[in-house]
A and B are shown apart, each in its own frame.
Chain A
Amino acid sequence: MLEALSYRVKVPLNISLVILTTVVIITLTLLGYSYRQIDREMLHSGESLGRVLAKGVSAAMLRDDLWSVWDTIRSPTDVALDEALRPDVVTVIDGTERVFASTVPTRFRVLSRPSEVDARYAGLPAWRDDGTQPETTHLWIDSDSLLVLAPVLVDGSLIGTVLLEYRRPAFLDRFGGALGQVALITALILLLMLPVGWWMGLRVARPLQELAALMDRIGSEHPNRLRESLEPAAPAGGDEINRLRVHFHQMLGQLAEKESLEGQMVRADRLAALGRLTAGIAHEINNPLGGMLNALSNHRRRGASDPATERTLSLLDRGLNQIRDIVAALLVEARLQSHDLSPEDLADVETLVRSDTSSRGVMVDWAVEVRRTLPLPSTPVRQVLMNLALNAVEAAGEGGRVRIRVTAEAGALLVSVCNDGRHISAQQMEQLFEPFSPGEASGEGTGLGLWVSYQIVQQMEGQIDVRSDVTETCFTVRLPLRFGGGGT
């Protein structure tokens, strides 16, 4: 049952329990100690009182004055003594060990023998008249009753004995009040400590609750967003909760990465399938299309037709050519057999792009760090760079900035094209490289630029990535220097 409780409750509950246990143990120890002290106090007080009474009754006993003896021995039971130190019964026995007087005369009748009335009195030590002075003594007549014996001496000779019976008070009788007080103080301490416990419970539970809440959200929300809402972890080497936090933070990162990879793979699969589909369709269309265009051309070569037929044929010719262009655009066949990429090829692209941008008021930051000819087919590379650059200029819009970097590193050409225009939403991102994608700036182009670029890069076994946030959208292309141009 306790296991099901939140730490917010468990911690203060445990603190209260610890306080309660501590108080109870300390209280019982102290009370137990002072309870054991009672025996000593009883004995001490009993022996003093016994001596006083023995002296007080001696003259009256000598006079055989029963009343005076009785009046003397009952005074301690009348006077308000500490209850524990008040004798229960005081009895005076004479030299023949018969009762002279007792404060409980109905039990210890005058002249009766105490041992016959009360079996506990049977084992009283007899004073021996052997010349030694009898001393005040005591014995336990049962587990809770102490009997103090004080000799009554007149001129050194024994004429009787004062017997004081003490009953050890029951623990509760003695300390019932103290226990009540302890309970009250404990309640007060708990009342003070509970808010502290509550606060500590909150302190312990808050990071755990936070983590638990985040865990509950996994699956329904993107790990990166969860990761952002997790406060930056304290320096490593903290307590367990902190370590948990650090690991959870890392785990969310890995989860995000995994999800992103999965997304990429799904997109790549889709684009590949789309590529195969469009290529298949294009081939199937190209065959009849070629036949139709040939038939049209032959017809024209055979001679003129009447004007009306000529207009129709012209219409068909234009339409068929448009179909061929679109199919050609869809059917991306990177012409890998072209001359190696030289710095001049890249400079040509810059010239073409700048001619287009100057009129649009877009600032282009072009940085090409390629100083030598690279073993890459120049035509597809130029096509990809051109597409990306023109798209960026389009996206940047009036007054925008475009940043283009082309660098060669060991085994690969890196191209990065960034613009500060509208950023691409996550939804658009999903279909970005698909033909006629809504994400592509389709103001002027055919809507196939990115599709073509993607296909080319794929065919060159490279990678193309896009990253977009509010400040910048960047396309990065990595082409392995594996495809030697081969041509001149």
Chain B
Amino acid sequence: MVFLFVGLIIVGNLHADERPIRIGLTPVILEDQLRFLESWRRYLEQELGREVQFLRRNSYGEIVDLALRGQVDFAWLCGFPYVRNEGALDLLAAPVFKGAPRYQSYLIVPASDTETRDLMDLEGGIFAFSDPNSNSGWLYPEAVLRRHATSAERHFERTFYTWGHRRVIEAVAHGLAEGGAVDGYVWETLARVEPELTGRTRIVNRSDAFGFPPVVATPAADPATRQAVLEVLLSMDESERGRQLLEALNLDGFQQVEPELYDSIRRLSREVVQ
């Protein structure tokens, strides 16, 4: 109550001349659910007392670029680009999925393929990655292949990027790709919305848990705004409307996390990129 009151005073003080808060989104969530995003944006505007803009681009890379150049204030992106740009980007919060700020990378194949047991079985196949800047959608499977002394380029006949986890699921479901690497959280969330689509895929492997794609603050975000956004995110599960939005996101809430949560991704990054 007191919090809300303070919020309202902030609205009164800041609304007039502050520039909008710009948040860059990547396909770490089902970012094509426009109606949901619009209601979430309004929620944030109401809670922050400031105009909020969501920015989306074709790939992770473009959002990362915008973040590094300070053209967005915050970005929700994968742990992989975060660990590569730790110096410029600050961890703000990570979503809580099934009780923990962690997720997995899924290896999926078409449901008709009942043979494949792991990534190595897909040798000579057509493989779909989601994004070269995605941990679950590229880094992890590439690292697995490296451990087997090969690489995607050599192991598969053809690979391609879909620039989105949802599209990896589509490509595999339609048989365009014979295998794909996808964000487990996206797959699980899509399974609730479009079970007939995920039903045409089969999960072959689930990776170890990684730190969930975090919300990061860019150099453009001043400390007060960071604090305000953090508080709104952390308190989302306290209001009815916030809980509805979290439910739509298939998340439990947000929590502050330590950089160490992403150590496993740092290791993979070092293995593959260097």
Tell me whether B175 and A67 are in contact (CB under 8 A).
Answer: no
- Are B162 and A110 within 8 A (Cβ)? no
Residues of B within 8 A of A66 (CB): 158, 160, 176
List which A47-83 residues lie within 8 A (CB) of chain B.
64-67, 70-71
A164: Cβ under 8 A from any B Cβ: no
**A105 with B176, Cβ < 8 A, contacts A67-B163, A67-B171 known:** yes
Please tell me if the beta carbons of B157 and A111 are within 8 angstroms of each other in the complex. yes
Contacts of B160 in A (CB 8 A): 64-67
**Of the residues B158, B161, B163, contact of A111 by C-beta under 8 Å:** B158
Bound-state Cα–Cα, A110 to B176, Å = 7
Tell whether A109 is near chain B: CB-to-CB under 8 Å: yes
Q: Is B117 engaged at the interface, CB distance under 8 Å to the other chain?
A: no
Q: Which residues of A contact B157 (CB under 8 A)?
A: 110-111
Which residues in B have their C-beta under 8 angstroms from that of A441?
A: none
Q: Provided the pairs A67-B163, A67-B167 are in contact, do residues A110 and B174 lie with their beta carbons within 8 angstroms?
A: no
Does B126 sit within 8 A of A, measured CB to CB?
yes
Assembled-state Cα–Cα distance A71/B160 (Å): 13
- B-contacting residues, A169-185, CB 8 Å: none
Q: Which of B158-211 contact A (CB under 8 A)?
A: 158, 160-163, 167, 171, 174-176
B126 touches A109 (CB 8 A): yes
Measured in the bound complex, the distance between the Cα atoms of B177 and A101 in whole Å is: 10
Task: For the complex, give the distance between the alpha carbons of A70 and B174 in Å.
Answer: 11
**Pair B161/A110 contact, Cβ less than 8 Å:** no
| A-contact 0/1 string along B72-97, CB 8 Å cutoff | 00000000000000000000000000
- Say yes or no for A106: interface residue by CB 8 A criterion: yes
Instruction: State A488–B201 Cα separation when bound (angstroms).
Output: 148
Cβ of A101 and Cβ of B158 under 8 Å apart? no
Within 8 A of B (CB), among A332-365: none
Also in contact, A67 and B162, with CB within 8 A (given A105-B175, A109-B126): yes
Binding site secondary structure of chain A: loop
Bound-state CA distance A111–B171 (Å) is 15
A101–B128 alpha-carbon span in the complex (Å): 13
Chain B neighbourhood of A106, CB < 8 A: 112, 175
Which partner residue on chain A sits nearest B110 by CB separation? A106
- Measured between beta carbons, the chain B residues less than 8 angstroms from A105 are 174-176
Complex CA–CA separation, A64 to B160 (angstroms)? 8
- For the complex, count residues of A whose C-beta is within 8 A of B: 12
Q: How far apart are B194's CB and chain A's nearest CB, in angstroms?
A: 15
Which of A67, A70, A105 counts the most chain B CB atoms within 10 A? A67
Cα A109 to Cα B176 with chains together (Å): 7
Q: A67: which B residues are within 8 A, CB to CB?
A: 128, 160-163, 167, 171
Q: Let me know if A110 and B126 touch, CB within 8 A.
A: yes
In the assembled complex, the CB of B98 is this many whole angstroms from the nearest CB of chain A, namely 29
* Cβ contacts B125-163/A at 8 Å (1 or 0 each): 010100000000000000000000000000001101111
Q: A101 — nearest CB in chain B belongs to which residue?
A: B176
Complex-state Cα separation, A66 to B163, whole angstroms: 11
Residues of A near B174 (CB, < 8 A) are: 105
Residues of chain B within 8 A of A65, CB atoms compared: 160-161
Q: Is A70 in contact with B126, judged by CB distance below 8 angstroms?
A: no
**B175, A111: Cβ atoms under 8 Å?**
no
Provide the residues of chain B in CB contact with A109, threshold 8 Å: 126
Q: Are B171 and A70 in contact (CB under 8 A)?
A: yes
Q: How far apart sit A66 and B176, CA to CA, in the bound complex (Å)?
A: 9
Identify the closest chain A residue to B130 (Cβ). Answer: A67
- Among the interface residues B157, B162, B171, B176, which one has the most CB atoms of the partner chain A within 10 A? B176
Contacts of B128 in A (CB 8 A): 67
Q: Mark A91-112, 1 if CB is under 8 A from B, else 0.
A: 0000000000100011001110
**Neighbouring A residues of B112 by C-beta, 8 Å:** 106
Which of B112, B158, B160, B167 has the most chain A CB atoms inside 10 A of its CB?
A: B160
In the bound complex, what is the Cα–Cα distance between A101 and B157 (angstroms)?
A: 14
Q: List the A side residues contacting B126 at CB < 8 Å.
A: 109-111
Q: Which residues of A contact B167 (CB under 8 A)?
A: 67, 71
A–B pairs, 7, beta carbons within 8 Å: A67-B167, A70-B171, A70-B176, A106-B112, A110-B157, A110-B158, A110-B176
Closest 10 CB pairs of A and B: A66-B160, A106-B175, A105-B176, A67-B162, A105-B175, A110-B126, A110-B158, A70-B176, A111-B158, A67-B160
Please list the residues of chain B having a beta carbon within 8 angstroms of any beta carbon in chain A.
112, 126, 128, 157-158, 160-163, 167, 171, 174-176
Known A-B contacts: A65-B161, A71-B167, A106-B112. Give 5 more (CB < 8 A). A67-B128, A67-B167, A67-B171, A110-B157, A110-B176
